[in-house]
Amino acid sequence: MPRREQPRVVTIDEGAGPVKVIKDPAGRVITKQQITKIRDKQEADLEKVTDLRDKLQASDRAAIREVAGQVKDRAAKRLSLLARQQRDLESQRAKLEAGDTEATQEVVDQMIRRLSRRIEQFTNARDRSDELLAELE
């Protein structure tokens, strides 16, 4: 199986002399300054998360209230979304039970798209296996 390409260090020369940069798998060039900024953000995020974990392990009441509040808010949003999805599904089910042509065609079209994606995935996997088998010959 092919491995995902990793970012790599390359040297480019755009007239001011050779400079080392990072080239990501998509071919984008990332400078040392950009990497430094990304790394600084990662370090700040790490410190923030570590600090919160340490406070929770120490049973810090304010940290516990903050986390409980965040989880409560997330649960409320999720329940709201699920309620809307339930209404949509109930409406779709009622239309299908009533034999609504448009709703039925929409379901059929959606299933065709899903099956087409699965066929493509199966075909790609089979082709990769064929390539590996050919290499083993």
What confidence tens digit (pLDDT) does each residue in 63-108 have?
Answer: 999 999 999 999 999 999 999 999 999 999 999 999 999 999 999 9
Does this model's pTM top 0.75? My answer is no
SS3 content of the chain, % helix, strand, coil (to 5): 70, 10, 20
Token pair in block for residue 108:
């059929």
When pLDDT is cut at 50, 70 and 90, the band that residue 1 belongs to is very low
d(CA 71, CA 73): 5
Listed residue (63, 59, 33) closest to 48, CA to CA: 63
Tell me the average pLDDT of the chain: 92
d(CA 124, CA 126): 5
- Per-residue pLDDT tens digits for 7-53: 888 888 878 888 888 888 888 888 888 989 999 999 999 999 999 99
Q: What are the sequence ranges of the domains in the chain? A: 7-58, 59-98, 100-137
Contacts of 34 (CB under 8 A, 6+ apart): none
Residue 125 three-state SS: helix
